[in-house]
Structure 1
Amino acid sequence: MKFLDQARVFIRSGAGGAGAVSFRREKFLEFGGPDGGDGGRGGDVWAEAVDGLNTLIDYRYQQHFHAKTGMHGMGRNRTGSKGADAVLKLPAGTQIFAEDNATLICDLTAKGQRFRLAKGGNGGFGNLHFTTATNRAPRRANPGQEGQEQTIWLRLKLIADAGLVGLPNAGKSTFLSVVTAARPKIADYPFTTLHPNLGVARAGGRECVLADIPGLIAGAHKGVGIGDRFLGHIERTNVLLHLVSAHNEDIAEAYQTVRGELAAYGHGLADKPELVALAQIDSVSEEESREKLVALAAACGKQVFALSAVTHNGLEPVMHAVFDTIETARREQQQAEERQAKKLPTEEI
């Protein structure tokens, strides 16, 4: 399945049905009076987060979604039926923006969450509504209200607990394929990964979702290489696992390049908890590996893990650190929400 994380869609809710002009006609009843029913409401346009989707590829081939018009009213005071709704089924993590692609309408972060994007028009009144003491036989009815229409942008930000970042060929895809059941494309040339990949890692009764994004190079925030358009997929993560390949001649420069791109992108990525690991240590000598570990620790100012996804060396300590960091972040978030819920509104005396 192809990956698509942004789509432009036109939506229109259904118009309301027209009211009916009708009069009661029965044998032996000379003046039956009006009995025109109201028109039905037009259908709404809804957005719904559903399970089993992780791309917006469906909206590449269909960009127009129209809800149905309400049925017209009928005689004998019969109200027209409501028009059918149009539902945009989206993966969790989809943000919906207005036509300017900047004004956020809603953010679907949980499966089952629904949001009404366009309300259907009301049905028109039948002639029964216009009966008065002086006008016993009105011959007018209202047309249905027009529906709403607008162009919206769908932007997907994957829901993941941890994000893998690094330069191209840093071993991110290999790491993902080893610790999860994901099968990303792996090759010995830059930019093998062209779109984000997700995988579920499990260890010791704990599990988390890992997101692997295409590698970053200097100037990515200006569009160099693949650019930074995929960094949005790790905005929701609790921790970043920064892999630096032992193949790099200048370890400090390789680390600072990626950190600089994260800071240039913004949106809080540079402030997220970060774990740093020297990857692909199986491809260099032990002495060179130790030297680069020291250099990387000096560049980042924190503990550095050493790992090899190919030989599975050092994977367990890294994954335990990832799980611990995620649990700490979740705990802090829960405590913040509880503190917010306990806050009472202050009253001025």
Structure 2
Amino acid sequence: MFIDLVSVRVTAGTGGSGCTSFRREKFAPMGGPDGGDGGKGGDIIVRGDANLSTLLDFTYRDHWEAERGEHGMGSNKTGRSGKDVVLPVPPGTVIRDRDTGIRLGEILEHGQEFVVAKGGRGGKGNAFFATATHQAPREWQPGEEGEMKTLELELKLIADIGLVGQPNAGKSTLLSVISAARPKIADYPFTTLAPNLGVVQLSDSRTFVVADIPGIIEGAHTGKGLGLQFLRHIERTRILAFMIPIDAMDWQAEYDQLRAEVQNYSPELAAKPHCVVFTKLDLLGEDYVPEIEAPAAFGKWSISAAGRIGLDELKAAWWSRLLELRKAAGELPSGNT
């Protein structure tokens, strides 16, 4: 089951209270205060885990609480700090405070972590309050309470290429041919009910990640079909590939509709580099690229995933464009190819 949006309640640990104590030794009748401080409460930490692909685990448990700090003790002993609680999430997870809507952060890579709820500070023991004029203090501080929050975790898949198209446009078939992914493929609409990721392997150990997004229909940005539920997963892609079957009734209308749905969902997303890929070329039996008005596209290709036609050219074009984007972002040296 693919789960990409969950809410969880987290409670950081309360700090331990300080201690009121005085030294009691045989030859030190006026030993003075020696009450130690309380320990700090445990934090709630979110950490990236590349072994995870969904937020399914959080549907079984929706409340996480860190350990409280121990109270201070005599002989100036500080209480033990509470253990932190680590919530593992897949890379690409955005964390928000559900009550305020404030975005707390995001996890983009394995091992990345940050604190979403801080544990309470431990209280001071009476030794802290001793002064030259106040040598036998009985004051102490209670520990502070840990932060309590309701978090919204939203997973947005990270991919280089996002395949965007209407149901039965051939997205899953293409992904299964160019990668080791094995999405469900059938001859009826909405076969793909969850996004699929596949790693495309080129020569010289060159690889990139392709995401197959469930079919987008007209009105997807308003919640129709499955589009609104999964449009978030193309937000992190570098390149969008608008896929149009060669047997479509109106190529231009289908392209314009896909562009409009993406634009209505997010103007920033619509500004990403994109190309047009005509699929099911084997139905024509000849090499043909339809003429459509797509001035913003960096290229147009016709392919047949079933017939293995035009795939090498398409993958090479994607790789070339990805290199340009990575160099522009400073992720690669200028001479790297």
TM-score of the two chains, using structure 1 as the length reference? 0.89
1:329 Cα deviation from its structure 2 partner: 0.8
1:63 Cα deviation from its structure 2 partner: 1.5
What is the match of residue 28 of structure 2?
Answer: 29
Structure-2 separation of matches of 1:28 and 1:330: 73
2:67 is the alignment partner of 1:68: yes
Q: What does 1:225-236 correspond to in 2, within 5 Å?
A: 225-236=225-236
Aligned with residue 299 of structure 1, among 284, 293, 303: 293
Instruction: Report SS of the residue matched to 1:331.
Output: helix
Listed one character per residue, the Cα deviations across residues 289-320 of structure 1 (whole Å, up to 9, x for unaligned) are 74xx33xx223346421111111111111111
Any conservation in 1 of the 2:214–2:227 contact (CA below 8 Å)? no
What is the match of residue 179 of structure 1?
Answer: 178
1:135 Cα deviation from its structure 2 partner: 3.7
Structure-2 separation of matches of 1:305 and 1:100: 46
* Structure 2 residues not aligned, in runs of 5+: none
1:335 Cα deviation from its structure 2 partner: 8.0
Instruction: Report SS of the residue matched to 2:293.
Output: helix
What is the match of residue 275 of structure 2?
Answer: 275
**Number of equivalenced pairs:** 331
State the AA in 2 paired with 1:59: F
1:221 Cα deviation from its structure 2 partner: 1.0
Instruction: Report SS of the residue matched to 2:180.
Output: coil
* Structure 1 residues not aligned, in runs of 5+: 339-349
Aligned with residue 308 of structure 2, among 305, 312, 320: 312
What is the match of residue 244 of structure 2?
Answer: 244
What is the match of residue 200 of structure 2?
Answer: 201
What is the match of residue 219 of structure 1?
Answer: 219
What is the match of residue 346 of structure 1?
Answer: none
State the AA in 1 paired with 2:268: G
Any conservation in 1 of the 2:19–2:74 contact (CA below 8 Å)? yes
State the AA in 1 paired with 2:293: A
Any conservation in 2 of the 1:242–1:274 contact (CA below 8 Å)? yes
Instruction: Report SS of the residue matched to 2:54.
Output: coil
Structure-2 separation of matches of 1:29 and 1:299: 93
What is the match of residue 7 of structure 1?
Answer: 6
State the AA in 2 paired with 1:300: A
1:4 Cα deviation from its structure 2 partner: 1.0
Structure-2 separation of matches of 1:269 and 1:180: 25
State the AA in 1 paired with 2:40: R
2:135 is the alignment partner of 1:136: yes
Structure-2 separation of matches of 1:101 and 1:327: 39
Listed one character per residue, the Cα deviations across residues 267-303 of structure 1 (whole Å, up to 9, x for unaligned) are 4222211121110122x2337x74xx33xx2233464
1:121 Cα deviation from its structure 2 partner: 1.1
- Percent identical among aligned pairs is 46
Any conservation in 2 of the 1:19–1:126 contact (CA below 8 Å)? yes
Which structure has the highest helix share of the two?
1
Structure-2 separation of matches of 1:102 and 1:148: 16
TM-score of the two chains, using structure 2 as the length reference? 0.92
Structure-1 separation of matches of 2:97 and 2:170: 38
Q: Check 1:164–1:151 CA distance in 2 against 1; reply closer, same or farther (3 A cut).
A: same
Structure-1 separation of matches of 2:141 and 2:160: 54
Listed one character per residue, the Cα deviations across residues 187-246 of structure 1 (whole Å, up to 9, x for unaligned) are 110001111110100112221000111011111111111132311111121111121112
Structure-2 separation of matches of 1:138 and 1:100: 42
Structure-2 separation of matches of 1:337 and 1:10: 44
1:98 Cα deviation from its structure 2 partner: 1.6
Q: What does 1:90-101 correspond to in 2, within 5 Å?
A: 90-100=89-99
1:57 Cα deviation from its structure 2 partner: 1.0
The structure 1 segments of at least 4 consecutive aligned residues displaced by more than 6 Å after TM superposition are 335-338
Aligned with residue 321 of structure 2, among 325, 332, 336: 325
Instruction: Report SS of the residue matched to 1:334.
Output: coil
Any conservation in 1 of the 2:72–2:125 contact (CA below 8 Å)? yes
What is the match of residue 210 of structure 2?
Answer: 210
What is the match of residue 341 of structure 1?
Answer: none
1:6 Cα deviation from its structure 2 partner: 1.0
Structure-2 separation of matches of 1:53 and 1:203: 25
1:25 Cα deviation from its structure 2 partner: 1.6
1:247 Cα deviation from its structure 2 partner: 2.7
Listed one character per residue, the Cα deviations across residues 133-158 of structure 1 (whole Å, up to 9, x for unaligned) are 44433233211111111112111111
State the AA in 1 paired with 2:16: G
Structure-1 separation of matches of 2:136 and 2:183: 73
Structure-1 separation of matches of 2:74 and 2:132: 21
Any conservation in 1 of the 2:326–2:332 contact (CA below 8 Å)? no
Structure-2 separation of matches of 1:107 and 1:267: 21
What is the match of residue 330 of structure 2?
Answer: 334
Q: Over aligned residue pairs, what C-alpha RMSD do you find?
A: 2.0
